[in-house]
Amino acid sequence: MSPESTATSVQRQASRGFWLRTLHQWHWISSAVCLVGMLLFAATGITLNHAAKIEATPTVDNRQLEMPSTVLAALGERQDGNAPVPLPVRRWLDDQLDISLGGRAAEWSAEELYVSLPRPGGDAWLSIDRQTGAVEYESTTRGAISYLNDLHKGRNAGPAWGWFLDLFAVACLVFCITGLFLLHLHARQRRMTWPLVGLGLMIPLLIALLLIH
């Protein structure tokens, strides 16, 4: 073998080693980031797929209070629209019902103020009579499985969870793409690599084409 061929072979081996180390590094880092999330989404994928067979017993908490006139007076500052609940009213509700409304929009009318409080795994609403100060609050909890299912769908989970889902999706893409390149680099030593990859493509494709109507 000529010196030029030997040098080219060494360069190729060095280049392959560099990319192999880089891919392995990105692959294990992305897998570590995705691990817990993938376990959660895989498990909730099963529960969502069999949601009709998994019974849930909702727990309903209904409370009725009367707002003091000093606090109720704060509701007279706004007449309609979707403005947030005034701060004095929010503080009183937090103290009485242990709920935090923050800057959540409310539905205002001449007679009533209504606040919808959906959340993962449950729902809640609050109604305040602007004339009498009568307060009714109802909270429904559907259990841990419903909570995890709603997290899977990003339902009523807030912007922070939405950002997490985006970052998790990016990490999963990195994990899968680096895995694909690693398969390519190791395919010569593993003859079943591409047949198995093809099988992973064909199974859902055939099901979608033949069995989904």
pLDDT over 80 at 45, yes or no: yes
Tens digits of residue pLDDT in 55-69:
888 999 999 999 999
Tell me the average pLDDT across 35-47: 94
pTM of the model as a whole: 0.81
- Per-residue pLDDT, averaged over 73-87, amounts to 79
What are residue 122's DSSP bridge partners? 119, 141
pLDDT at 3: 56
In the three-class reduction of DSSP (H, G, I as helix; E, B as strand; rest coil), residue 137 is classed as strand
Residue 2 has pLDDT above 90, yes or no: no
Q: Quick one: residue 30, left, alpha or beta (phi over 0 = left, psi -120 to 50 = alpha)?
A: alpha
pLDDT single digits (tens) 142-199: 999 999 999 999 999 999 999 999 999 999 999 999 999 999 888 888 889 999 999 9
Between CA 2 and CA 7 the distance in angstroms is 9
Per-residue exposure over 41-64, b if at least 16 CB sit within 10 Å of its own CB, e if not? beebeeebeeeeeeeeeeeeeeee
Angle at 130 between CA 118 and CA 106, to 5 degrees: 30
pLDDT-based confidence at residue 116 (cuts at 50, 70, 90): very high
- So where are the chain's domains? 24-56+151-198, 59-142
> For the range 45-51, what are the long-range contacts, defined as Cβ-Cβ under 8 Å and sequence gap of 24 or more?
45/152, 47/145, 47/148, 47/149, 48/149, 48/152, 48/153, 51/149
Q: Tokens representing 115? A: 């606040």
